[in-house]
Amino acid sequence: MPAKHFSNEQLADTFNLIADLLEIKGEVIYKVLAYRKAAESLAELNQDAYDIWQAGKLTDIPGVGKAIAEKIDELFSTGKLGFMEKLTAEMPVSLAEMLQVPDLGPKKIGLFWKELGITSISELETAARAGKLRTLPGMGEKSEARILAGIEAYKRRSERIPIGQAYPFAQRLIASLRQAPGVVTVEMAGSLRRGRITVGDIDILAAATDSTAIMDRFLSDREVVRVEGKGDTKSSVEYAHGLRAQLWVHPPERFGTAWQYATGSKEHNVRLRELALKQNLSLSEHALTRPDGSEILCATEDEVYAALGLPFIPPELREDRGEIQAALLGKLPKLIELQDIQSELHAHTTWSDGHLSIQELAEAARDRGRKLIVVSDHSASLAITGGLTAQDVQKQRQEIQHAQKSLGDSIVILQGIEVEVRADGSLDFPDEVLAELDIVTASVHTSLRQPRQQITERMLKAIQNPHVDIIGHPTGRMLPNREGADLDLEAVMKAALENQVALEINAHPARLDLDDVNARHFAEMGGLLTINTDAHSASDLDLMHFGVTVARRGWVEASSVINTWKIPKLLEWLKRKHPHF
C-alpha cells in the first residue's frame, strides 16, 4: 500500500477539526479533549510523526493512545481517514468554521444545527435577522442580537486592511507600548513586518520580564473598541474600522524565537520547522529544543537562523518563495534599503495637481536627504490635473533654474514630465520637446480597460519612443479595488529591457505598482527599476519606504534601481535619450 506523508501540522489540524465537530455534535467531553491533546502534542513534537510511524512507535507520542494511533496509521498508509469521512458526511465542515464567530460556542452551534438545520455562518445570519433564534431554548432577543454582533465582527475581521492604513497605526501603537514600564523591546511581526500590501491584523511582539504593565497599556488604549481576548502572554483587541491588533509578550531570553515565529509567514515557518527536524531539533513558538529536551534559547532572530545553519533571512523574503534554499546556498540577495535611495524621480507641483511650488518641493526633498528631485508634472491631456502644455515647458524651465539657484548645490532639480500615453499609444508631447526635457516618465491614466492586445500594444509604443526613460505605475492598479490593466507584462518587460526603459515601483500605498512578484521577475531579467513616491505634497515624500518594501519583497538589489545611483551615473544614463547632458 502506498504511504502518504502528512506533516505534524496537518495531523494536528485534522485532529483539531475532529474535536471541533465532535464538540458541536455533543460528544462526551473526554473524547473531545483526547483529540485536542493529541493535536497539541503533535504540533509541538520534536520529531516527524511519519518517522515515528515507520518505526512503529506512534503510541510513544504523549497524548496518542491506541485509538488515535490507529487513525494516524490509517492516514499514513491509505491517505484517508474513514472516521473523518463518516463524520463530515453527517455534519458539514462549515459547522466548525462557525466557531470563528466571537461569543459563539459549540453548544449553541449544535443547537442551531439540530433545531434549525443551520450549517454555516451565512445561514446563521439569515436566521438571526429573521428572528428565528430567539425562540430556541436558552435563547432570547438579547442573545440573538449578540450573535448578529458577533457575525458583524467576524465579517469585519475577515476583511484585509491596506498597509497604508495599518503601518502608521502600528507605528504609533508601538511607540506608545514602548513607554510601558519594564518593557525591553516592542516590535512589529506578522504580515505587516513582512510588508504585505494588506494585512489581516497587526501583530506586535514585546519582550518583558513582567507582562502586566504592557498588557494593561495595550488593553486600555482609548482607541480600543473591543477586547477579543486577554491573557498574560497574549491579548487581542479591535479598534474602529475593523482594525485589529494582537500583542504577544515573551521573556527577553526567548524573544528571538518568538519574534521569528510571529513574523511568519506560516509557510516559511513550516519549511523552517522541516529543516529543524532534519537536524533533530524542534522549533516551536517558544524555543528550539534538542532531542534530550534541553532548549536553545534565542534572544535574537539571528540566533534562531544561526542555530539552523542559516544566515539571517530578511522578513520581506519569508514567503516560501525559495528563500530558505537560497539561504542554504549562501545566495540570498543583498536587498535594497531605504538609505540607498538618492533621488526622487516622480513628483508633482502646482504646475499640475501638486500642492507645492517647485522650490517648496525641492526643499522638502532635500530635507529628506534626497540629492536629486525631478519635477514631473502631468501633461495637458490629463485635463483634470491642469497639466502642462508643450508651450509651458520653457516657462517652467525658468522657474526650475531660479529655484536651483536659490537652493545652490544642496539638491539637483531636473525637469521631467509625466507624459500621458494616449489611447492610441501616442504621447502628449512631440518628440523634440521630450528630448529637451531631462527625464521622461510615460504613464497611462485613462482607457485602462482596453482589451489585452490593444493596451499592451499601446504600452509597447510608448516604450519604443526614443525619449521615454520610465513607465510610471505600469499596470494602473489602485488599491484596494481597482484592478490594473490587462497587460501582457512579459511583453512589456521584454520591450522595456530592449529599449532601456525603467519600470516604476510606485511607492504610494494606493498603488504599489509594479508589485513584488513582477518587480522580481523584471530585475531577474536584467531590467532596471525606479522607486518613486509620485508626491503631490511634502508628506507624500515620506511614503518611499512602502515602495522599497515592495522591492525587497521582490528580492531587488540596489544596483537594479536607478534612483539609488550616484548622480553622475544617473545623468550619464539619461544622456542616451537626452543628448544635452
What is the binding site for Zn ion (CB under 5 A)?
418, 534
CB of 190 to Ca ion, least distance (A): 3
Place of cell 488515535: 68
Q: At what angle do helices 489-498 and 516-525 cross, to 10 degrees?
A: 40
Quick one: which of 280, 274, 121, 261 has its CA closest to 203?
261
Instruction: Determine contact, residues 411/370, Cβ cutoff 8 Å.
Output: yes
Place of cell 500615453: 421
Which residue blocks in 79-188 are alpha helix, DSSP H? 82-90, 94-97, 106-116, 121-129, 141-157, 163-177
Say if residue 340 is exposed, middle or buried (CB neighbours under 10 Å; 0-12, 13-18, 19+).
middle
Give yes or no for residue 203 binding Ca ion (CB under 5 A).
yes
Give yes or no for residue 395 binding ligand DGT (CB under 6 A).
no
Quick one: which of 86, 88, 76 has its CA closest to 20?
88
The single-letter DSSP state of residue 557 is B
Tell me how many residues contact Ca ion (CB under 5 A).
5
Query: x-or-dash pattern for ligand DGT, window 199-238, by CB under 6 A?
Result: xxx-x-----------------------------------
CB of 472 to Zn ion, least distance (A): 6
Q: SS3 string of 288-357?
A: EECCCCCEECCCCHHHHHHHCCCCCCCHHHCCCCCHHHHHHCCCCCCECCHHHCCEECCECCCCCCCCCC
Give yes or no for residue 201 binding Ca ion (CB under 5 A).
yes
418 binds, among Zn ion, ligand DGT, Ca ion, none (CB under 5 to 8 A by kind): Zn ion
Distance CA 314, CA 326 (A): 12
Q: Write out the binding residues for ligand DGT, residues 266-325 only, by CB under 6 A.
A: 266, 269-270
Give yes or no for residue 315 binding Ca ion (CB under 5 A).
no
Q: Is the peptide bond before 265 cis (omega within 30 degrees of 0)?
A: yes
Question: Closer to ligand DGT at the Cβ: 258 or 365?
Answer: 258
Q: Write out the binding residues for ligand DGT, residues 19-78 only, by CB under 6 A.
A: none
Question: Closer to Ca ion at the Cβ: 200 or 333?
Answer: 200
CB of 302 to ligand DGT, least distance (A): 19
Question: Closer to ligand DGT at the Cβ: 200 or 251?
Answer: 200
CB atoms within 10 A of CB 179: 11
CB of 231 to Zn ion, least distance (A): 47
In DSSP terms, 347 is beta-bridged to 535
Q: Cβ contacts of residue 432 below 8 Å, gap of 6+?
A: none
Instruction: Determine contact, residues 8/52, Cβ cutoff 8 Å.
Output: no
Question: Closer to ligand DGT at the Cβ: 199 or 455?
Answer: 199
Give the one residue of 63, 106, 164, 190 binding ligand DGT; rule: CB under 6 A: 190
Distance CA 186, CA 155 (A): 29
In this chain, which residue has its C-beta nearest to ligand DGT?
Answer: 264
319 binds, among Zn ion, ligand DGT, Ca ion, none (CB under 5 to 8 A by kind): none
Question: Closer to ligand DGT at the Cβ: 110 or 162?
Answer: 162
Give yes or no for residue 195 binding Ca ion (CB under 5 A).
no
Q: Write out the binding residues for ligand DGT, residues 504-563 only, by CB under 6 A.
A: none
SS3 assignment, position 504: strand
Question: Closer to Ca ion at the Cβ: 201 or 323?
Answer: 201
Question: Closer to Zn ion at the Cβ: 323 or 534?
Answer: 534
CB of 546 to Ca ion, least distance (A): 18
Question: Closer to ligand DGT at the Cβ: 201 or 428?
Answer: 201
Question: Closer to ligand DGT at the Cβ: 264 or 387?
Answer: 264
CB of 198 to ligand DGT, least distance (A): 7
Give the one residue of 50, 112, 113, 261 binding ligand DGT; rule: CB under 6 A: 261
Distance CA 571, CA 312 (A): 36
Which grid coordinates are listed for 209?
Answer: 520580564
Tell me how many residues contact ligand DGT (CB under 6 A).
14
Give yes or no for residue 264 binding ligand DGT (CB under 6 A).
yes
CB of 473 to Zn ion, least distance (A): 8
Give yes or no for residue 190 binding Ca ion (CB under 5 A).
yes
Give yes or no for residue 420 binding Ca ion (CB under 5 A).
no
Give yes or no for residue 262 binding ligand DGT (CB under 6 A).
yes
| Secondary structure (DSSP) of 429-464 | S-HHHHHHSSEEEEE--S-TTS-HHHHHHHHHHHHH
The residues binding Ca ion (CB under 5 A) are 190-191, 200-201, 203
The residues binding ligand DGT (CB under 6 A) are 190-191, 196, 199-201, 203, 261-262, 264-266, 269-270
